[in-house]
């Protein structure tokens, strides 16, 4: 009972923080998610550390932070979009730094290090553009970003409840023994119904577009969850961290977001 109470309180506070950061200010959202990016990266590099591979955690966190800040500034029109391309030479500098390190397995070091930047920092950085996916000068609206997170949470909760009550057939037992087809299908149905309802509350996107976004979240959110489960299974841990009592680490809370956000972002580019 105590664990359930703790999990519930932490979950409510987590949702309040994310929702308030989205609604209050784009800059407040960016500050919160810059911190989320850094904490997720720390968890990730702690997961993949080994005697054979040495990832330059500080170096990669700085690289990821600069990437996130540049996306924030471009999305808020503080800098021109072309300055985002400065991230390309910045990323290549990681290869140069490794050249002067007297280590074994340099290629693996680079691969492990850069995987965190692409897997975590890039998807979270793209969220800054959800306020204005059409790149219309001076426009800013939080409803798409808010809807994205709400649909992710609805799918996660509905899939868990459906899987717990009627789940019988394993979705991918080798990676995630608890996930079932019944849970995923039940979660998908509730998520798409919620997307239709959301389209009536916020008119920025049509009902069909919201339903398609929900379908993207269902597909790639599930894949993101499975990928993180694969990481944890490879290193024999249950949770990515212990920052959120009863919920594990931040990566456990954002695994679906990390995979879904790039695909939703690309879809938004073509419809807005």
Question: What is the per-residue pLDDT for 260?
Answer: 97
Question: What is the dihedral sign for C-alpha 41, 265, 202, 193?
Answer: negative
Integer CA distances (angstroms), 30 to 27, 131, 264, in order: 5, 11, 19
pTM: 0.92
* 138: number of Cβ within 10 Å: 6
Break the chain into its structural domains and give their ranges.
Answer: 2-271
pLDDT at 237: 75
Instruction: Quote the tokens at residue 83.
Output: 């300055």
The total number of residues shown for the chain amounts to 272
DSSP assignment of 20-34 equals HHHHH-HHHHHHHHH
> Angle at the Cα of 183 (from 243 to 167), degrees rounded to 5?
110
Which residue ranges of the chain lie beneath pLDDT 50?
A: 1, 51
Helix and strand counts by DSSP (H, E) for the chain: 10, 2
Q: Residue 177: which H helix or E strand, with range? A: strand 176-180
Please check whether residue 182 is in contact with residue 168, taking contact to mean a CB–CB distance below 8 angstroms.
yes
Q: What is the pLDDT of residue 239?
A: 65
Looking at 132-206, list the stretches that DSSP marks H as alpha helix, in order from N- to C-terminal side: 143-166, 181-201
Which residues make Cβ contacts (< 8 Å) with residue 143, sequence separation at least 6?
A: 202, 204
3-state SS, residue 60: helix
Say which residues have a Cβ less than 8 Å from residue 246's Cβ, sequence separation at least 6: 3, 4, 6, 7, 10, 11
- Classify residue 97 by burial, with Cβ atoms within 10 Å: 0-12, 13-18, 19+: middle
Question: What pLDDT does residue 54 have?
Answer: 57
Specify whether the CB–CB gap between 8 and 16 falls below 8 A.
no
**SS3 at position 172:** strand
Q: Which residues lie closer than 8 Å to 88 by C-beta, 6 or more apart?
A: none
């Amino acid at each position: 009972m105590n664990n359930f109470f703790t999990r519930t309180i932490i979950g409510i506070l987590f949702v309040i923080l994310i929702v308030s950061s989205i609604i209050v200010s784009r800059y407040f959202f960016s500050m919160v998610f810059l911190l989320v990016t850094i904490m997720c990266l720390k968890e990730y590099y702690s997961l993949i550390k080994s005697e054979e591979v040495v990832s330059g955690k500080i170096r990669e966190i700085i690289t990821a932070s600069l990437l996130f800040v540049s996306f924030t500034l471009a999305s808020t029109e503080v800098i021109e979009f072309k300055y985002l391309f400065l991230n390309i030479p910045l990323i290549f500098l990681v290869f140069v730094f490794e050249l002067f390190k007297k280590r074994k397995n340099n290629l693996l070091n680079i691969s492990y290090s850069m995987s965190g930047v692409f897997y975590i920092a890039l998807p979270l950085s793209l969220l800054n553009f959800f306020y204005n996916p059409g790149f219309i000068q001076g426009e800013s609206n939080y409803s798409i970003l808010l809807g994205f997170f709400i649909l992710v949470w609805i799918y996660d909760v509905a899939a868990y409840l459906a899987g717990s009550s009627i789940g019988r057939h394993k979705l991918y037992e080798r990676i995630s023994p608890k996930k079932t087809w019944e849970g995923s299908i039940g979660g998908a149905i509730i998520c798409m119904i919620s997307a239709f309802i959301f389209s009536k509350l916020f008119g920025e996107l049509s009902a069909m577009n919201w339903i398609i976004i929900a379908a993207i979240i269902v597909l790639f959110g599930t894949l993101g969850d499975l990928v993180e489960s694969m990481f944890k299974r490879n290193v024999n841990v249950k949770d990515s961290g212990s920052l959120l009592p009863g919920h594990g680490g931040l990566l456990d809370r954002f695994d679906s977001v990390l995979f879904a956000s790039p695909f939703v972002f690309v879809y938004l580019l073509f419809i807005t």
